[in-house]
Structure 1
Amino acid sequence: MNNVKPQQELDLLVSVIDRHPEGVSAEELLQESGLTLQPRSLQRRLAVLAEQGRIRLQGKTRAMRYFPVLQVEGPIGKAAEVIAPSGGAEIEPYVPFSAEGEAIKAYARRPRHLRKPVVYRTEFLEQYHPNHTAYLPLKLREQLHALGRSPAEQTPAGTFARDILNRLLIDLSWASSQLEGNTYSRLDTARLIEFGQAAEGKDAFETQMILNHKQAIEFLVHSPEQAVVSQDTIVALHALLSDGLMPDPAMCGRIRRRAVEVGGSVYLPVALPQRLEALFGIVVGMAAEIEDPFEQAFFLMVHLPYLQPFEDVNKRVSRLAANIPFIRHNLCPLSFIDVPQQAYVDAMIGVYELNQVDLLQDVFVWAYERSCQQYVAVQQSLVPPDILRLRYRQVLGEVIAAIVRSGQPVNEASVKTMLPGSVQPEDREHFTQLVLTELAGLHAGNAVRFGLRPLDLLGWKK
């Protein structure tokens, strides 16, 4: 690769990154591209690509990962933006945002000492009336419903989430933890979840955070009766997500008893325990009344962090709680994959300090579109098994073998003369079509499934 020209190197790097929608590290990128570049040379080329808008960056220093640029179409209608932070030294990915979201972002980027301290406003909650007012406009919700529809929409609650559980465990555990500053890569997360192999150089806190997410997701997916919006479920999610991470272990799964502050914000949450417990009940009760799954999910993402009912881990609880309606309605889950940490932080500051949800709505919609893109291939591969074929599996093989060995032609009349009495009258038409389909595709490589030898097949075909 030493003779590759600089422009060809850039194009090659982009093509490799385009194959990794989940992101790729510099080490993985160098290995897959086959380029013989020094780390500094590679970083310079990647910086050029980011400046040109051909790739996106996420993370810092050694945890930096590189993503393809997404041209997202949908309710927002703008491509993901790449912006430079106030320091100008590092390029940072963002999400498409509305004019209202842009104003919130500008406010959130103001120095903390220039923002006026605020307290919890009950008016923000009182202004909301489940199923009468909505943060997400009806047209937007209709678009999200169409986007998130799964092949399992007519099956029992939780079916689709169970079908894609292995992928969901990795994606959601990694992405949600990354929003908290966790430096595990997606590959490290997959190894930890699938093989119990902790990543080298990571502290126990980060490893515990990933494993807690796994346990909490399994709690929701494996127990549909528990995947409901209720106080017990929200508290249970906190207990699972905060296990081993709280300064006081007794506060896992318990409403806080002391005042807390929100890092990076001038917002001061409710301090009085009795008032906090009452408000927690009201917030969860209102959420439970919301009928639309997308509005319910977004309401939880807004009001659980705003209330801060627990000493810590509130945003993580809200992100998993937001998936409850998607699990129950067999919709595509919200994995938060590729959501830039700064965009999410800015959006939450807008909620905390301004009681404005526009930027969080921008993040939510983009994140859901991105999640659906991730799972589209998974959805297409989930072809439900033919139940009748499973029921008559042995009989099917016997009929096919009998037709071949007796030299019968491939037509409905031949098949119907061979039908045994064990095939129910209402199933005979479907069973006949199954036999004809199998006979049409029968060859020496797959005939062994029916106990047939190549000579049997050869004689039948002659």
Structure 2
Amino acid sequence: MPKIVSNAELNEIAELIAGHPDGIGLASLLRAVGNGISRRTVQRRLASLVALARVVTAGEGRAVKYRLAPIAGEADSVIAPISGQAPGEIYVPVSPAGEAIKAHVRQPLHQRQPVSYDLRFLEAYRPNETLYLPEVLRAQLHSLGRSPAEQSAAGTFARDIMNRLLIDLSWASSRLEGNTYTRLDTERLIEFGQAAEGKDAFETQMILNHKAAIEYLVREVDRVGANSETILALHALLSDGLLRDPQAGGRVRHRAVEIGGSVYLPVALPQRLEELFGIVLDLAAEIRDPFEQAFFLMVHLPYLQPFEDVNKRVSRLAANIPLIRCNLCPLSFIDVPTQAYIDAMIGVYELNRIELLRDVFVWAYERSCQQYVAVRQQLVPPDIFRLRYRAELTEAVRAIVRGGQAASAEAMRTAIPVTVAEGDRAKFFALIEEEFKNLHEGNAIRFGLGPLEFAAWKRDG
């Protein structure tokens, strides 16, 4: 017969959690309770608190955090189902449809009907006919996200704001998984390689994985897209060192998974999962509007749960693929309330309803754009001449470096491609000369040159 957990035992754990408004992980909680209570006992009490809706979870796997559930209204000895928004709770503006979803997902687990993957949700979507984002809303998002580089080569704007994007998106996306790094901690880690004191190595790895994945999206912008190669690569980068099975990174899962805090049961059969993964990406690739494609990926990748873990992180970075390719302001998820995002995702899982997630998506994008207004204003207008001869410039610089030549005037003149018009050759020569003055290991990647390759050329001559 299962052991009955008393209110006093539950209250002891709840009081410890209450001392950590931003959430506390299992390892930290075990240290707080001391050696008198076993790990299994603490886990059982946590499960009871979650079932009673006294505690909510954020994050997945080992990154899961526990915090007290926000409570609306006055409480007596019996805790009523949570509804509405608690005083002081940070949330996003919510539509009436979003409020209905929120009310459902705030019910205790035992009051929600278990559901499995519903193929009809995916089958009902017709690319460029079904629209999760109405036309007026998409027009508003396009207006907000327009950048000075909109007519430039794909990925130009993301490269222009790369340092800011790496910090903002790495920090904000990790925070939605319960990561306790501050933005300043994240900046020091990314810019100087300094891990924050007192932080779990798991959290540090999560931040660094985001950095690697974002760099991949921007560096390989001409190759990335809504395709399996890109999504699998994102998962491999984001999950590096964080999975129990190292071979699970970058491949569709082969075992069943469960969703913490939800009654949703994802597809378990590997062959079926592979098939649906391909269908989701085929549909996404057909969507012409970048915002509609971004939101579709945010909805259907987590709903399918194609990986053992790190699904939501993959979907958040995947949502940036069409935005980066179209030189639109990226979606950084800055200041997105964790509980609002969790509620929205559970609404997709359990109800196949996207309205609350759409509310979060639109608010998050507006907030991201506000962050980058000042950055956009500081950007130098694109050099039209340089844009016209972008391919030729890359060819010339690469030819000199890979040919092991010194960057002399003679070598630069010889390297000018025949496709450069006669009247433009003098100006093109000046452009090559300027590029070599500013070339170093960190930016040589713009010409397809790796840091080691460039360093070897510089060392040799």
* TM-score bucket of the superposed structures, by smaller chain: 0.5 to 0.7
- After TM superposition, give the deviation of residue 224 of structure 1 in Å: 1.3
Residue 165 of structure 1 corresponds to which residue in structure 2?
Answer: 162
For 1:129 and 1:119, how far apart are their aligned partners in 2?
Answer: 22
Given residue 185 of structure 1, which amino acid in structure 2 is its aligned partner?
A: T
| 1:308-355 CA distance string (max 9 Å, x none) | 000000000000000000000000000000000000000001000000
2:251 to 231, 254, 263: 254
C-alpha distance 275-180 of structure 1, shift in aligned 2 (>3 A): same
For 1:128 and 1:256, how far apart are their aligned partners in 2?
Answer: 24
Count of paired positions:
319
Where does structure 1 differ by over 4 angstroms across 4 or more consecutive aligned residues?
86-90, 385-389, 423-428
In the TM superposition, 1:16-27 aligns within 5 A as none
Residue 226 of structure 1 corresponds to which residue in structure 2?
Answer: 223
> Which deviates further from its counterpart, 152-161 or 86-95?
86-95
1:59 to 22, 41, 45: 22
C-alpha distance 90-245 of structure 1, shift in aligned 2 (>3 A): farther
In the TM superposition, 1:256-335 aligns within 5 A as 256-335=253-332
Larger radius of gyration: 1
8 A contact 2:23–2:178 mirrored in 1: no
Residue 180 of structure 1 corresponds to which residue in structure 2?
Answer: 177
For 1:425 and 1:217, how far apart are their aligned partners in 2?
Answer: 36
Tell me if 1:106 matches 2:103.
yes
Structure 1 alignment gaps of length 5 or more:
1-57, 63-82, 390-422, 429-462
- After TM superposition, give the deviation of residue 85 of structure 1 in Å: 3.3
For 1:113 and 1:379, how far apart are their aligned partners in 2?
Answer: 49
Given residue 358 of structure 2, which amino acid in structure 1 is its aligned partner?
A: Q
Q: Secondary structure at the match of 1:142?
A: helix
Given residue 138 of structure 1, which amino acid in structure 2 is its aligned partner?
A: E
Q: Secondary structure at the match of 1:254?
A: coil
For 2:268 and 2:425, how far apart are their aligned partners in 1?
Answer: 66
Residue 40 of structure 2 corresponds to which residue in structure 1?
Answer: none
Structure 2 alignment gaps of length 5 or more:
1-20, 26-68, 75-85, 387-421, 428-461
- After TM superposition, give the deviation of residue 229 of structure 1 in Å: 1.1
Residue 236 of structure 2 corresponds to which residue in structure 1?
Answer: 239
| 1:247-270 CA distance string (max 9 Å, x none) | 000100010001100010000000
8 A contact 1:255–1:310 mirrored in 2: yes
C-alpha distance 114-154 of structure 1, shift in aligned 2 (>3 A): same
8 A contact 2:72–2:87 mirrored in 1: no
Given residue 305 of structure 1, which amino acid in structure 2 is its aligned partner?
A: P
Tell me if 1:85 matches 2:88.
no
| 1:220-251 CA distance string (max 9 Å, x none) | 00111232111110000000000000000010
Residue 27 of structure 1 corresponds to which residue in structure 2?
Answer: none
Residue 340 of structure 2 corresponds to which residue in structure 1?
Answer: 343
For 1:255 and 1:388, how far apart are their aligned partners in 2?
Answer: 45
C-alpha distance 244-425 of structure 1, shift in aligned 2 (>3 A): closer
| 1:269-316 CA distance string (max 9 Å, x none) | 000000000000000010000000000000000000000000000000
For 2:104 and 2:348, how far apart are their aligned partners in 1?
Answer: 12
Q: Percent identity of the aligned residues?
A: 74
Residue 152 of structure 1 corresponds to which residue in structure 2?
Answer: 149
| 1:396-428 CA distance string (max 9 Å, x none) | xxxxxxxxxxxxxxxxxxxxxxxxxxx969999
Instruction: Output the aligned Cα RMSD.
Output: 2.5
| 1:162-197 CA distance string (max 9 Å, x none) | 000000000000000000000000000000000000
Residue 371 of structure 2 corresponds to which residue in structure 1?
Answer: 374
Residue 94 of structure 2 corresponds to which residue in structure 1?
Answer: 97
For 1:361 and 1:280, how far apart are their aligned partners in 2?
Answer: 22
TM-score, normalised to structure 2, is 0.66
For 1:298 and 1:367, how far apart are their aligned partners in 2?
Answer: 12
For 1:61 and 1:275, how far apart are their aligned partners in 2?
Answer: 36
Given residue 197 of structure 2, which amino acid in structure 1 is its aligned partner?
A: E
TM-score, normalised to structure 1, is 0.66
Given residue 59 of structure 1, which amino acid in structure 2 is its aligned partner?
A: D
C-alpha distance 379-266 of structure 1, shift in aligned 2 (>3 A): same
8 A contact 1:227–1:327 mirrored in 2: no
| 1:426-448 CA distance string (max 9 Å, x none) | 999xxxxxxxxxxxxxxxxxxxx
Tell me if 1:196 matches 2:193.
yes
2:134 to 116, 130, 137: 137
| 1:137-161 CA distance string (max 9 Å, x none) | 0110001000100000000000000
- After TM superposition, give the deviation of residue 384 of structure 1 in Å: 2.3
C-alpha distance 385-232 of structure 1, shift in aligned 2 (>3 A): closer
